[in-house]
Amino acid sequence: MKKEKCELVEKLGVHFEKKEGLAPVAARVFSYIVLNGKGGTTFEELIENLCASKSTISTHLTHLQGLNKIKYYTKTGDRKKYYIMNYDSMVQGINKTIDDWNEEMKIHQEVMAYKLTVNQLKETPNEEKFNIEFHVDFIEFLNKTIASVKEIKNRIIKNHQENN
């Protein structure tokens, strides 16, 4: 299982580098924390499993906390901090994605409206009229995708509320 986890930390790390713009070690730290789940990850585990120095891990933990991607909790009688993914960060990421898709949809709607206006002009020959099928299909796709992602987000929120 340890080999599989290491490979997944690496794969997920590359994903977070690209998607979130995280530095390579920060992306691996975040990946490791995500894969450890609610049990949390200690500073010492990160040093040991990611083969990075204390200062490097500390710097990236501070950075990830500043980005609101992780938080920590402590256990009574235990001086260690247990780092976990910040649930709010996930919901904020979903909201940002939905906002981006809505913005893209508005642009397609405006382009489509322009093309329809040009198509209705008397001086536009039939062979020069725009085909708007792509815009219609893409707007429909975005509407359905946004609705599905909102549904998933609502289930995540409901699940989180039930478990806390």
Q: Domain range for residue 65?
A: 2-85
Q: In angstroms, what CA-CA distances link 122 with 115, 117, 129, 131, 145?
A: 14, 10, 11, 17, 37
Same domain, 74 and 95: no
Span 77-91, average pLDDT? 91
Q: Which residue, 62, 85, 108, sits at the end of a domain?
A: 85
Query: If you average pLDDT over every residue of the chain, what do you get?
Result: 93
Rounded to whole angstroms, the Cα distance separating 76 from 99 reads 41
pLDDT digits (tens, 9 = 90+) for 110-163: 999 999 999 998 888 888 999 999 999 999 999 999 999 999 999 989 988 888
Backbone angles phi, psi at 68, to 5 degrees: 65, 25
Same domain, 80 and 98: no
Span 85-94, average pLDDT? 88
Same domain, 134 and 64: no
In the prediction, which pLDDT does 1 show?
Answer: 59
| CATH number of the domain residue 46 falls in | 1.10.10.10
Query: How many domains is the chain partitioned into structurally?
Result: 2
Q: What global pTM score does this model have?
A: 0.75
Same domain, 65 and 103: no
